Structure 1
Amino acid sequence: MNTILNKSFESLIVIRFRYMWLGDFALLCAEFMELLILSWYVLNQTNSPMILGVYAALRFTGTLFSPFFGVIVDRLGKRNIYIFSRICFVILSTIVMVLYITNTISVTYVLIISPFVGLSRSLDMIVRQSVIPSIVGNRLLQNSIALLRTSRDITQIVGPIMGGVLLELLGASFSYLVIVCLYVLALVFVLMIRDIPNDFSKSKESLILNFKQGISYALLHPFLVGILVIAFMVNLTGFPLNNGLMPVIAKDIMKTDAVGLGWMLGMYSAGALCGSLVMGYFSNMKWVGILMVLGALLWHVGIFFIGFVSTLLVAIPLLYLIGIFQSFAMVTMAMLLMSYTSKEMLGRILGLRQLSVYGLPLGLLFSGSIADNFDVTWALYLNGVIGFVILVIAVVIWPSTFKSDLSYQKN
């Protein structure tokens, strides 16, 4: 048992990575609390799944600029950008807290602030991923990726449940005070990480040219293109379930409150945590491409079948399984991107990877429109079928993605 635990959490022996993991934990816990509180607010104020979809989509508009963020990270110093992104989270959450305290909060203000949150998230995610190799080294790279995913999965359990309970018991103002404190803590942990690379690139090439270089690099490696297409697909049809549709399912189908919603999101994330821990233990396995594809396929099968469920007793275990399949797909995807991309191009490729996240706001708008005009179950059916079909087509066009493993690392 000790051997299994030591292998699963091996990267935590690196002190700098430990601070990084704790900082991510605080940041993501705040983020998921915030998502639940504001999603519930928007849905109750408007009673419109479509407007809820717009809110969720606006939170991801930063992905449009992610390729350029990748170039900026490569050129302007990772430590500076890392600290800057965390400061932005503190400022934006403080603004919302003040709006709640002064009783001037409105759906309009929430929609205005959301794109700036999205910009901060995209920038933070790119710089965070780009510093991992320099913090843990190649040997612990796959294990560290899986562990960072576990921090997200744990906070997806803790954040929504904590947010729902605090919202019901103490109100939004106190809940947002907790969120601000967590964002400050996330900033402090980043400041504690020593020797984050902070080199300034002396390149005089334009951002557009650097962006094109990232695209050219990806095109030279067809399996990278396949991975990026699959990443876009799961954002388009997979992630709308827990990023936008879950409040509608909780309110309209399960007939539950914010606490019930918190438990639904929490169990979904418990499954994702289980999947990430399994991937952390088997971090050096071969043929991860097969697991990535199978995980994505089963993820969409689960989304399809959740549309037939109308009780929490059945929904919770199914959501747990969907979370496991999601982790299998996403952790292996990150492992492959990190392993096959050269260090000097990593920021640019991660920028392209973040651009694929723009499939999520498109998916949220599509799902919200279907739920608004028909029924949320139809959104689930369509997402399950469309995602499954696109994935099969992607594997046929880029079969090397399905066969990719970790036996080769491009440094």
Structure 2
Amino acid sequence: MSLDTQKIRKDFQILNQIVNDEPLVYLDNAATTQKPKQVLDAVCNYYEHDNANVHRGVHTLAERATADYEASRDKLRAFINAKSRKEILFTRGTTTGLNWVAKFAEQILQPDEEIVISIMAHHSNIIPWQQAAEKTGAVLKFVYLKNGELDMADLRAKITDKTKFVSITHVSNVLGTINPVKEIGQIAHAHGAIMVVDGAQSAPHMMIDVQELDCDFFALSGHKMAAPTGIGVLYGKEELLNRMNPIEFGGEMIDFVYEQSATWKELPWKFEAGTPNIAGAIGLGAAVDYLTEIGLDNIRQHEMALIDYVMPKLCEIDGLTIYGPKNNTKRGGVISFNLANLHPHDVATALDMEGVAVRAGHHCAQPLINYLDVPATARASFYIYNTFEECDKIIEAIKATKAFFGV
């Protein structure tokens, strides 16, 4: 089923504006997505009608807020098909989730044991593992690329019986590469390793079934899937979460507190110290409702159609270099590129003058940018409200940029 993008766009009032005398074409969705009216209304409704702290009160507003907050946890459980709501931890986002897992790694890693990640990882899936390796004496190993995809032969060679954690991005935020995380997890598990998935760029765009993937941890961010900023989810298998120490301590996460000791609440609340981002969680639940109604398979098909439409047109532009898989079925709705000898920041600024919003820089993936031997890239990323007409607009804008700079 094709998406009715014109109907969807009516839910996103922010798209109806003029930027630099041009209609806005928002193609920075890998950084953050826009929020539909349904999500904004859910957040507003909480603050206007139910604003109270959760779990602690017996008055009506507190009970309503708690019901909505915990209902969002149930929605997220269903959204990624976790086995139990105990396996859904609310976080600030993917970065927080991956940091929590790396802290768990510090609990159990021994010197000379191994952590395997990939060169295409986001900084939030690199730096926590660097810290874990430094603190424990473990060895951090990188898997490299072949034709814009993970080199699976390299991965099989890097994962050994000494490997204790494998942490792989599901979809690269630079290359758009969709990694075979289920297969990688099977390799990791065959060596007794724990499989971690950075799902920031996959959960908003395709069906996720953590039980079918059989990953041990899966982290996602709300703001990349039409929800507010500052909210995300870490999924973890219950047995592993029971082994993990809490990261923060204080109210909400305790069972009993004595003068010299304390005990923790059961899952998932032992990881949610202090007043949580209640409005954010409720907004995330509303975003899940919104995306589920559209259908994640439909979202994936729409983005593939946009990529199939725009990619040949991009390839026809002289001087344009595109990074990532050549096979469009192996990439998400992300296209990173460079234009002739222009710096990507200049390209992005020129596109902005045409009303086209893209991102330029290292995209929090400096090791990958260094591996590609470029200073940075420009990046266009697509979502449910983007249209074929907007694909034509970025092509026109790139050509206008070429003409302006005389390249």
Question: Where on the TM-score scale, by shorter chain, does this alignment land: which range?
Answer: under 0.3
> Using CA pairs below 8 Å that are at least 6 residues apart, which structure has the higher relative contact order?
1
TM-score with structure 2 length normalisation? 0.25
TM-score with structure 1 length normalisation? 0.25
Select the structure that is richer in strand.
2
Select the structure that is richer in helix.
1
